[in-house]
Every structure is written in C-alpha cells, then in structure tokens.
Amino acid sequence: MSDHHPATRHRSVLFMPASNPRAIAKAQGLACDAVILDLEDAVAPEAKADARAAAVAAAAGFGARPCAVRINALDTLWGQDDAVAVRGVAAVVVPKVASAADLVAIRAALGADGPPIWAMIETCGAILRLPEIAAAAATTGTALLIAGTNDLAKEMRCRPDADRTPLLPALTQLVIAARAAGLVALDGVCNAIGDPDRLAAECAQGAMLGFDGKTLIHPAQIDAANAAFGPSAEQLAWARAVVTAFAAPDATGRGAIRLDGAMVERLHLAEAERILALAG
C-alpha cells in the first residue's frame, strides 16, 4: 500500500466520468491537485465494463498527481471486478463506507499490497460509526475520508441552505475523526456550478472547518478550491516568521518564545512547517 505523506496537497480533487475519454484527456492538463475517475454514479450500467478498462488505462497519465478511481460498491454487479481491475492505481475511492467491516472487505478485495482506500462517508450510519471507521484506517490502508454531502442530505431528509446548516455537525465530526486517525479530509461537492459566489463560500467554510480540500464536479471550480485551501499570504508570512524565530540561537531548547507580541510554542512551529510544506 502506498504511504500517505501529510504534505501532499488535496486542495482540489476533481471527479471525472471514466466513460468520457475527452474529459479524461482534458483533466490531464488541469490545475487540480488530484483526479477521481468515476465508475459509479457517472456511468450507466451498460457502460460499466468499458469505463473500467478506460479508467485503468488512463490512470497512469496524470504524472505525479494522484489519480484515484471510484469503484462501484462490492455488493453490486460490478464491484468485485472493479476492485480486481484497479489494484494498480494510486488510490481507490469506495462509496458508502458505513463501518470498519466495509473497509476490511474492500482491503481483502484489493489485496494487502493494493492501493490506499479513500472512503466516502455519505450515510447516517457512517456518521454514527466514524470513530470505528477511523480506528480501522491504519490496518486497512485507508488514507482519506470524503464527505458525500449529496447522499447524506438525501438520507437525512434535510434541506441544506446556502450555509449547509443541517450538515455542519456531520462535517465537523468527519474532520475530527480524520484528524484523530491522521487522515486527509475532503469536503463534499458544490452542485451550484454556475454560482461562483456560493462555491467560494462553501470552500471558505470547508477550510474554516478544517478540511484539507474539496471534491469538485467541474473544472471551473478548481481555482476557487485552490485559493481557499491553499495557504494565504498572511499565513505564509506567519509561518516563515515562526520558523525563523525558532531557528535563532536564543530559541535553542525553548518550548515557547515571544513573537510579535504573542507567545508561540513548538506546536505552532509544527503547524508553520506544515503550511510551508503545503506551499511547496
């Protein structure tokens, strides 16, 4: 299984239908941090087999950027064949993970040395079992949690407003579970393709909640996600100042120092180093 590096950027993760070769070719030149080739919702039943072959063939064309494949659930007609076919891709996105047992089952299907799992959390049961799912991440090779906000809202029968108010408790729980297990956390998609203000607001909200990035459904959404989830100029200036201050001779061996009128500790140094790593 591939190791997850905490400094890898996941600001913008674009879903693309694996059945659309033109879209896949276009995605190879886009500025998103990662791509998910979709074999599930975006592909009609009669096109599943062809899309599977196309996804496997295309996955190697994204260079250093992760190209994951979302498979169909194992209990569908296509899930087992998908799992066998995608064993060589960068990561496997698993829909509707509801328990640790689901992660164990997909790891068995992918093989012990298969790619890391990106688990979609999109049911009420999954939210209730987030501690269990997070605890099983290390032994099942799970590296990332994705908020499946559309399916979750449907199952909750809630009516999300522009601020996604009914979903905020679940989104917060997902981030907490991911952080507890050392996982990447991705916010759900924004359906309002033609509303840049709403997209920008969702991205800002996701970053405020602690997500590492956002899943996207259209190339036009990439720039907003990259801007919101990337370090701001102010964050970079702060991070450089903290690293410089702790590197000074008089800071040697000290757990906390004074910087610009504020007390900063070694935990702030770790955060500053993380921000600089994300900025490249």
- DSSP-derived secondary structure for 170-191: HHHHHHHHHHHHT-EEEE----
Render pLDDT for 224-259 as a digit per residue (tens, 0 to 9).
999 999 988 888 899 999 999 999 998 898 999 999
**Counting Cβ atoms within 10 Å, is residue 46 exposed (0-12), middle (13-18) or buried (19+)?**
exposed
Amino acid at 245: A
Q: What number of other Cβ atoms are within 10 A of residue 43's Cβ? A: 24
Binding residue numbers:
70, 122, 151
Amino acid at 180: A
Whole-number pLDDT of residue 4? 40
Q: How far apart are CA 268 and CA 29, in angstroms?
A: 36
Contact 273, 240 (CB under 8 A): no
Sign of CA dihedral 268, 141, 11, 158: negative
Binding residue numbers for substrate:
70, 122
Query: Sorting pLDDT into bands at 50, 70 and 90, what band is 3?
Result: very low
Render pLDDT for 202-222 as a digit per residue (tens, 0 to 9).
999 999 999 999 999 999 999
Query: Sorting pLDDT into bands at 50, 70 and 90, what band is 111?
Result: very high
**pTM for this model (two decimals):** 0.90
Lowest mean pLDDT among 19-28, 75-84, 170-179: 19-28
Binding residue numbers for Mg(2+):
122, 151
Could you give the domains of the chain?
12-229 (3.20.20.60), 233-279 (no CATH)
Whether 33 shows a pLDDT value over 50: the answer reads yes
From residue 73, alpha-carbon distances to 64, 93, 101, 106, 200 in Å are 27, 10, 13, 9, 32
